[in-house]
């Protein structure tokens, strides 16, 4: 592949975008702030680094993962608006966010109030669950990939970044054999990821969420004391026990501690069946406002039908060369290329809407309207007449000897005549 020639320097125009500044850089790529020339709107552009852009397999998977991420429609997942190659470099075009990563808050505040921490993590859990239902595993969940974007009210709205991007490095034979090229962030790696298991599933993401809950509530990572070397940290994650949360913060509720420790269980079979169940267990510790907001999402029965069925091999030793096959989510048909060992990308989200037949309402005409009005008026006048007549009858009945006036004769002045008594 030819060497890419675009440098994406501030002030340069690439495609329809003018580069404003570089936002950040990582092991796989770089992120830039850019202005769309036609729309006069800010976007974020993520590109592969030059050395990775030379590998056709990495480029193909980078673009494919961007396409997958763009199909996960959730308000708490960064919106990917376009993918492609600009001036020779593969790019993801994403919505531009203003705010700070969750890692900055953790570093600044150390101990975060429990209800505030849960309020921030519930949207993250909902977003991750939405991705899992579409067969996508993040594999690199960490505070740096949770962006607290300022919304129009000024509140922090969590957004999950880099969905699926990290897993493009999961291919055997690619840059995955040295510890310096470890996939993801070691502190948030699940035991199965630390062991190098190839049949990872959604519960690996759940473990990472548990570590973030541990760190946010205790002010320290679970194995921070064992992080003097990469191998020491990997051993601790897979074999060692970590201190309970209330060792660091005794005032934490025991039920919250039990919830986090279950999400961080060494064996994935001991974790929650899905992150949806984890969110439901955390809901009681949220603020009153967040409970009202997330009760419809997590308050009901956990939706576990969309989670993959995990079948551990029995009586068979693990063979790293043997492909590991797990059942895809039951609500999808695996017609797209597999994203991971445990999931497949669905062509669409199936929906089922029951047929409901509603009898048509008879149409009224102007004649009907006039007829109803006339009937109502007649009934009103009739009732009023009857009432008036009854009143007069009662009044007349009170006089026992009434005076009778005879009508005057024509041409003669009439005089009053009283009734004769017998």
**DSSP class of 349:** -
**Distance in angstroms (rounded) separating the CA atoms of residues 132 and 128:** 6
Sheet with 80-86, side-by-side order of all strands: 13-14, 17-25, 29-36, 41-48, 89-95, 80-86
3-state class of 267 per DSSP? coil
Which pair of structure tokens corresponds to residue 27?
A: 């092991």
Among 92, 131, 82, residue whose Cα is nearest residue 345: 131
**Backbone phi and psi for residue 147, each to the nearest 5 degrees, phi listed first:** -100, 125
Q: For the chain, how far is it from start to end, CA to CA, in angstroms?
A: 138
Q: How many C-beta neighbours within 10 Å does residue 182 have?
A: 18
CA distances from 232 to 184, 215, 223, 236, 281 (A): 17, 19, 10, 6, 32
Find the catalytic residue in 140, 201, 205, 277: 140
Output Rg (C-alpha) for the chain, integer angstroms. Answer: 38
Asked if 140 is an active-site residue, the reply is: yes
Instruction: Note every long-range contact of 58-61, with CB atoms under 8 Å and residues 24 or more positions apart, other chains counting.
Output: 58/168, 58/169, 58/174, 59/1, 59/90, 61/168, 61/171
Cα 374 to its chain centre, rounded Å, is: 58
Q: CB-based burial of residue 317 (10 Å sphere; 0-12 exposed, 13-18 middle, 19+ buried)?
A: exposed
Query: Position of tokens 């199936």?
Result: 350
Query: Position of tokens 């669905």?
Result: 346
Residues annotated as catalytic (active site), given as ranges = 140
């Amino acid at each position: 592949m030819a060497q890419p020639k675009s440098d994406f320097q501030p002030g340069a125009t690439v495609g329809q975008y003018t580069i404003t500044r570089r936002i950040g850089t990582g092991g796989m790529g770089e992120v830039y702030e850019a202005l769309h020339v036609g729309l006069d709107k800010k976007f974020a552009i993520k590109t592969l680094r030059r050395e990775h852009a030379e590998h056709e397999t990495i480029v193909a998977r980078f673009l494919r993962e961007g396409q997958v991420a763009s199909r996960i429609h959730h308000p708490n997942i960064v919106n990917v608006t376009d993918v492609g190659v600009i001036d020779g470099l593969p790019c993801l075009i994403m919505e531009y966010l203003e705010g700070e990563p969750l890692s900055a808050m953790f570093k600044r505040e150390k101990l975060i109030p429990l209800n505030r921490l849960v309020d921030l993590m519930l949207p993250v859990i909902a977003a991750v669950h939405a991705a899992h239902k579409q067969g996508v595993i993040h594999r690199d969940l960490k505070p740096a990939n949770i962006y607290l974007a300022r919304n129009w009210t000024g509140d922090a709205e969590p957004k999950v970044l880099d969905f699926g991007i990290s897993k493009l490095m999961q291919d055997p034979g690619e840059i995955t054999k040295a510890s310096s090229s470890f996939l993801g962030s070691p502190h948030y790696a699940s035991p199965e990821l630390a062991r190098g298991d190839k049949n990872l599933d959604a519960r690996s993401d759940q473990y990472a969420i548990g570590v973030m809950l541990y760190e946010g509530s205790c002010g320290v990572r679970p194995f921070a004391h064992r992080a003097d070397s990469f191998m020491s940290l990997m051993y601790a994650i897979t074999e060692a026990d970590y201190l309970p949360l209330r060792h660091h913060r005794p005032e934490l509720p025991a039920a919250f501690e039990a919830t986090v420790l279950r999400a961080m269980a060494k064996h994935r079979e001991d974790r929650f069946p899905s992150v949806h169940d984890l969110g439901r267990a955390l809901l009681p510790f949220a603020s009153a406002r967040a409970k009202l907001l997330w009760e419809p999402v997590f308050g009901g029965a956990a939706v576990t039908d969309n989670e993959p069925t995990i079948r551990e091999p029995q009586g068979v030793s693990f063979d790293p060369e043997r492909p590991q096959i797990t059942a895809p989510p039951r609500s999808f048909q695996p017609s797209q290329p597999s994203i991971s060992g445990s999931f497949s990308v669905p062509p669409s989200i199936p929906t089922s809407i029951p047929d409901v037949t509603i009898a048509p309402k008879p149409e009224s005409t102007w004649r009907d309207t006039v007829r109803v009005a006339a009937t109502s008026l007649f009934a009103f006048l009739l009732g009023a007449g009857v009432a008036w007549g009854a009143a007069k009858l009662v009044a007349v009945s009170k006089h026992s000897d009434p005076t009778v006036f005879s009508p005057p004769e024509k041409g003669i002045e009439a005089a009053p005549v009283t009734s004769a008594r017998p």
